[in-house]
Structures are given as structure tokens and as C-alpha cells.
Amino acid sequence: MKILLIHSDFIEYEPKKKAIESAEKLVKSKVRVEDCLVVFCSAEDGDSMDVVKPTIENIKDVANQVKADRIVVYPFVHLCSKPASPSVALQIVKAIEEGLKDSYEVYRAPFGWYKEFTLKCKGHPLSELSREIAAGKEKDVSEAVKKEPELKSEFFIIEPSGAEHKIEIRDGKVIGFDFSKYEKLGKLVNYEMAKSHIVDKEPPHIGIMKRLELVNYEDASDPGNFRYMPKGRLIKSLLEDFVTRETIKHGAMEVETPIMYDYEHPALKSYLNRFPSRQYTIQTPNKKVFLRFSACFGQFLMAHDSNISYRNLPLSMYELTKYSFRVEQRGEIAGLRRLRTFTMPDCHALCKDITQAKDEMQRRFELARTVVEGSGLSISDDMEFAIRVVRDFYEENKDFVHAIIRKWGKPAFVEIWDKKFFYFIFKYEWNFVDALDKAATLTTDQIDVENAERYDIRFIDSDNKKKFPVILHLSPSGAIERVMYGLLEKAYMQQQAGKNPTLPMWLSPTQIRLCPVNDSFIPFAENISEQLEKENIRSDIDDRTESIGKKIRDAEMEWVPIIVVLGEKERDSGQLPARFRETGKVENMAIKDLVRSVTDKTKNFPYKQLSLPKLLTKRPVFN
């Protein structure tokens, strides 16, 4: 069952024509309902009466939040691709209508008709929500996912000074803190407190990734899986190398573990039910398995089989998972922002106790800062901070929580749980807020107090006794695909602000485009390109029979950072006119100065060649 909930000033609808032979008999020809919650609903193939109760609960939850007294149940088959049979669907919507009548004034649009309707949405943060209810069909969904709606929370904004501001939604608005100086934090709070991750509009980065020939959908795969063309693969692999290098430099030991595990393994099955994620499951010739959603399983099993001393702690293990898998719900999948298959840098640290865990988490915070800012995202301009914490831990460790917020340097959104619900008692998130005001978590770290015992991971302490460590779960960057999403969304927002959209120099597939004025200067361009290659600079040559103006425009459309036109004057003088995309300026410089302009921005970052022909005439066009 899928429902779309619109808090409306009014809805007016009028049946026009039967859509099916078994359409309901009309009672009224035209209906107008003022100040109401309109619930568009669509029963899916396989739905039964089991979906009625959870659907009613979801509707009541939203109605109570927006303080709606009137509800309009509006059958709308177009919400799903495989609808239930008309008889089943009608039975379900009638039951939903009846189940709401005890608490609300309820209207229901006639079933089986093409209807003309006019609706005015109120436009506050909770006025547009959607839900997907699959009662009885999600047998492989973890207990944490099923019970997450029961979680009781209080929400706060906590400033670096330690000042706490309790916030809540009242009449559809977040109150309790002045967000006028923290616009993106306000957007994060609205997004998180609305509790809906449905995307009803295509994020800008999707069009950009296609146009730049970086990434595209793969129709032959499951939704949320992508094809990476040569330029996109280069960017992704450079980010993978950078995150891995910095994490190892920070002291982590790199390992590799399997991507699938026995669904009935006692420790693994227990962990599955404590993790808020949906899994892919597969029946192999021997057993039922699930595809990993992180590197936790392999690293924990490896730690279980290791001899660990207190002298080894904190002990960090790291894997760049190719790949992790999560069955994100339809409607939530959105380009590189939310996928079903992704590349996750996963670094766990075994710590002696909570005190050591808190110290190590603060040290790892600086690793995350290096990774995120090195990738091209600014903490001050692009990221917002969230913390999820159990109340008991917060009350006992306020100094630590406030110290983390001071490290961040801006107010943080804090959710405090009444009791421990997941395997962790503290978690922080670095969130990117995109052009559609949706938030996506990149960096995250957690304090895990359950899994050492669950996996029987022990260390020998100084008193020669075996003890369970505390485990930290860090992804220094978040999913690599999500970093790419953040960079493309940031570039789009730069463009909206009147700036030239760019990627960091070290991630730009072509760093210098050489544009000979005619074919006779192609050898000159090839000579310069060879010199640039020796300096680990990626260059290519536009050898097409196009005007220089066309070549420059096309290079700008590809976001090439530096464009150099080559003709007789440049060959004779040795001065190259470098057009810098970021500033729009053209500077004449010797090749050594051109090299320096790139290497100053790429120093200490990974380098790889672009696996495309150097001459543009030799390149295919990717879709």
C-alpha cells in the first residue's frame, strides 16, 4: 500500500467518467472539503487486509502532527506500478475509511472513476508526506526497522557554547530556535523531523552526471545500481584511493572480507535485527545468504578469531566495501544520493572502554575533516551536524558531547532517545543539504556497546582477564557515490548563485584542454600534452574541425578547469593563454607556470590517467 498525504486548504473533486466497469455508484457528483488531510492511496498487487491497520496508524500519526480534523481518502491507482485487483483495492480503502471514522470527519472519493480535482496544499514542512506500508510482506526486514516508529525522542539544537534549545513541531513549524542565521541547519531539521525521505522531484545532480558522461542508470539491473563511464569511474576511483590512503595513514589496517553471509548464522542474524536497514537475500545451492550492508560482519568475525591485547588498543580495521547493499524503498532512491548498491569506506576501532572510545572518536573526527574537506566539501558552507544519543549516555557525558560540537564549530541538531534502541549509544552524522533541501549523511561514527559480546570479541587486559571492547564504527567520508552527489549538487548551487560550476582540480577528468586553431598545430598540442603527462597532469586535445569558439564553449560545458588555445603566436612566443574556468580570467604563462597552477592544487592528492583517447575525435559519446 502506498499513500501520499497532502495537508490542504481544500480539495474539490468531481467524477467524470467510469474507469472500470465495476466503478462504485455515485452518491454525490461534486464534493468540496475545506482544511483537510488528503490521503491519496493505492493498494498494490499482493496487498491484503493486513495493510489496513498500519495504514490507518500512519494516517492518524500525520493527522495528529498537522492537527487535521477532516480526512479525505482518495483512491489513486497511479501511485504504484502493479496495483491490486479492483475488488481487493476497494475492500481495503473502505476498511481504511471505516477505521478513521471514530476519530475524524472522513470523506472518500468514489472508487473506479476518472475524476477532475483541484487541491491547494498548505506548504509547511509536513504538508507533503508519503508512506509505503507492506504489512506481512517484509519477512526479511530487521526488527529495528519494524520497531523504529516506536522510538521516543526529544530534539534539541545545541550550540558550541553548550547552550541547549529544545525544538518541536507546532502547527507544522519547527519552534524553539532561531534558524535565520543557520538556513541549512533549519533545512536539515525540517527534513529529519518530517521523517519522510521520499523524493518527488529529480535532484539536479542526475541531469549533470548524465550530461557530463559520468554516471547513468542501468536499466538491466535492479534500481539503485549504476553504470560508470570512464570519466565517472576516474572520479570515483580517485576518491576511493584518497579516502583509503588517509585512513591507513591514520593508523587503520586494511582488510578484505566477503560480500555475502549465512542468514542463519547466530551472531549475524542477531545483528541483522539490530540494524535499521533492509537486506538483499539470496538462496545459494547450500544456504540462504544476505548481501552485506557494511563491512561490520567480516571485520567482527576477523576480530573474533584474533588474539588481542590491551596494548593493541585502540585497534582499527578498514575496508573499502565494493560493494555494500541495502534495499532502499521505492521513492527514496534518488541518483547518487540514495542507492541500493554503494561503495562504503568502513573503519572499526576496538577500544578498551568508553573513556578510550571517546578519545579515539575525537581523534578520528580529524581524519574525517581531512577526508571531507580534501574531497571538496566545506564544513562551514556545505555540511550540517547531527547527533543521536541515548539520554543516560548524554547526561553522564555532556562534556564529551559538547566537545564534539565545539570541534564542529556550529550549532548541531541533537536527537535524544529515552532508551537504547539500536546497538549504539552515541552517533554523529555530517549531513549535506542539497538543492532540493534534502539531507544526506556522509561521514558518521558510532559508539557500539553490543557487538563485541554478540560476536564474542575479547581482549586480554592488563590484569590478564578477557574483556569485551567498545567498538567504534566510522565511515570517514560516507559512501563514495554520496560524495560525488554532494560535489555535483554543490556545483549546481554554485551555478544558481551565478558562479561557474566546478569540480576540485584533482578530481577533474580533463584538467587542461588544448585547442589547436587548425590541424597544423595538432603536433604542437601533442608535444605540450606529453610534457604535462610527465608532471601527472591530465590533458586532452580538441582536434575536431570546429571553430575555436565552439571548442571553448564545449570545454566549458564539460567543466574543464583550464582551456588553452594553440596557434602560431603561442608556438613562437612560448606563452600559453590559459583560460581558468573558476575565475573566468585568461592569463598568458610559460608551460612551467601552467604546470605549477595545476600541481599547486593537486599536491598530496592521488593521480590517475584518464582512460579515454587523448584526441577528442577518437572518443565515443556515452549515454
Q: Is 223 helix (H, G, I), strand (E, B) or coil?
A: coil
In the sheet that holds 164-170, the strands lie side by side as: 173-175, 164-170, 153-158, 412-417, 383-390, 424-433, 439-448, 470-475, 341-351, 315-325, 253-254
DSSP labels, 144-198: HHHHGGG--EEEEEE-TT--EEEEEEETTEEESS--TT-HHHHHHHHHHHHT---
Cis peptide preceding 149, ω within 30 of 0 = no
Per-residue pLDDT tens over the stretch 506-554: 999 999 999 999 999 999 999 999 999 999 999 999 999 999 999 999 9
Confidence of residue 157 (pLDDT cuts 50, 70, 90): very high
Answer yes or no: is pLDDT of 494 > 70: yes
Report phi then psi at 504, rounded to 5: -55, 145
Name the percent of the chain lying above pLDDT 70.
95
Judged by average pLDDT, the poorest of 3-17, 199-213, 223-237, 310-324 is 199-213
pLDDT > 70? residue 274:
no
Average pLDDT over residues 593-617: 96
* CA 552 – CA 583 distance, rounded (Å): 15
197 — pLDDT class (breaks 50, 70, 90): low
pLDDT at 151: 67
Cβ-Cβ contacts under 8 Å for 492 (sequence gap 6 or more) = 204, 205, 208, 435, 501
pLDDT at 28: 81
pLDDT above 90 for 227 = yes
CA distance 199 to 485: 15
Can you say whether residue 162 is alpha, beta or left, with left for phi > 0 and alpha for psi between -120 and 50 degrees? left
pLDDT, position 137: 47
Q: What is the pLDDT of residue 150?
A: 61
Among 216-225, 422-431, 439-448, 512-521, the least confident range: 216-225
If you average pLDDT over residues 205-225, what whole number do you get? 93
**Is a pLDDT exceeding 90 seen at residue 76?**
yes
The domains located in the chain, with CATH, are: 2-137 (3.50.80.10), 158-202+239-257+292-480 (3.30.930.10), 505-618 (3.40.50.800)
**Residues 6+ away with beta carbon under 8 Å from 481:** 226, 236, 336, 339, 342, 343
- Is the confidence at residue 36, as pLDDT, over 90? yes
CA distance 153 to 67: 20
Residue 139: is its pLDDT beyond 50? no
302 alpha carbon, distance to own chain's centre: 29
Q: Looking at residue 8, what is its pLDDT?
A: 96
**What integer is the mean pLDDT of 21-50?**
90
Query: What beta strand segments (E) does 499-608 contain?
Result: 512-516, 539-541, 562-566, 576-580, 586-589
**The predicted structure's pLDDT at residue 226:** 93
Query: What local confidence, expressed as pLDDT, does residue 40 receive?
Result: 95
Rounded to whole angstroms, what are the CA distances from 446 to 147, 154, 274, 354?
A: 20, 19, 14, 12
How much is the pLDDT for 138? 46
What pLDDT score was predicted for residue 611? 95
Lowest mean pLDDT among 32-36, 276-280, 382-386: 276-280
- Please report the pLDDT score of residue 249 as a whole number: 97
Q: Which band of pLDDT confidence, cut at 50, 70 and 90, is reported for residue 145?
A: low
Kindly list the distances between the CA atom of residue 252 and the CA atoms of 157, 313, 348, 349, in Å, as whole numbers in the listed order: 33, 12, 9, 8
Q: How confident is the model at residue 408 (pLDDT cuts 50, 70, 90)?
A: very high
pLDDT tens track for 468-487: 999 999 999 999 999 999 99
Query: pLDDT for 294-332, tens place per residue?
Result: 899 899 999 999 999 999 999 999 999 989 998 877 667
Give me the mean pLDDT over the 574-583 stretch.
95
Mean pLDDT of the residues in the chain: 92
DSSP 418-476: SS--SSEEEEEEEEEE-TTS-EEEEEEEEEESSHHHHTT--EE-TTS-EEPPEEEEEES
